[in-house]
């Protein structure tokens, strides 16, 4: 059981390091979204994706270790999370304390990441709304009804109902 706990601590510490690296990247992403620099956004997103891929791999490793611990403890792996596991380590106060600290630390980091990512999501949604608005405006000016004027020879001349760059306040 001791070696399984060491594997768990190693996996959790590695996950914590990756999530700590993601925080400044996500904050940088916020600044880039505000600036609207697409090339820099692409580079940061690729960097972020590499770290997320590592975190996913470590998460699977952690789940495997917890599954092994659940077999040793004769518990259901689906109900065994870090909080429950810390509660089961009553006879091992040092490991219980270490696990509780890691759990609290990871929880705080994840809350911060969720907050930053929510802000980024809102910025992206606002940008998409603005793009959609601009596209609708451009389409409405191109498809605006023209005014047909006929001259004496009954030939039609098309005249745009709007001047270029005009905004139709009725829409």
Q: What is the pLDDT of residue 46?
A: 96
Quote the pLDDT of residue 47.
95
11-101-74 Cα angle (round to 5): 60
Q: What is the pLDDT of residue 152?
A: 64
CATH of domain 2-140: 1.20.58
Token couple for 64: 């495997």
pLDDT tens digit sequence for 62-102: 999 999 988 888 888 888 888 888 888 778 888 888 988 99
Model-wide pTM > 0.85: no
In this structure, the strands spanning 156-160 and 146-150 are antiparallel
Per-residue confidence (pLDDT) for residue 4, from 0 to 100: 87
- pLDDT reported for residue 141: 76
Q: Which residue blocks in the chain are alpha helix, DSSP H?
A: 2-35, 38-73, 82-88, 93-142
Distance CA 27, CA 113 (A): 9
Name the stretches of the chain with pLDDT < 70: 1, 143-171
pLDDT of residue 2: 77
Domain ranges for the chain, please list them. 2-140
For residue 150, what pLDDT is reported? Answer: 55
- Share above pLDDT 90 across residues of the chain, in percent, rounded to a whole number: 47
């Amino acid at each position: 059981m001791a070696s399984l706990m060491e594997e768990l601590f190693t996996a959790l510490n590695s996950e914590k390091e990756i999530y700590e690296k993601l925080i400044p990247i996500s904050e940088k992403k916020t600044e880039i979204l505000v600036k609207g620099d697409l090339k820099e956004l692409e580079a940061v997103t690729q960097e972020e994706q590499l770290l997320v891929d590592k975190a996913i791999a470590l998460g699977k490793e952690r789940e495997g270790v917890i599954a092994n611990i659940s077999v040793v403890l004769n518990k259901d792996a689906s109900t065994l999370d870090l909080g429950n596991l810390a509660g089961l380590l009553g006879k091992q106060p040092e490991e219980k304390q270490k696990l509780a600290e890691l759990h609290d630390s990871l929880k705080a980091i994840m809350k911060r990441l969720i907050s930053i990512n929510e802000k980024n999501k809102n910025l992206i949604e606002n940008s998409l709304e603005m793009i959609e608005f601009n596209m609708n405006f451009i389409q409405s000016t191109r498809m605006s009804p023209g005014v047909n004027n006929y001259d004496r020879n009954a030939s039609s001349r098309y005249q745009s109902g709007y001047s270029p760059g005009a905004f139709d306040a009725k829409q």
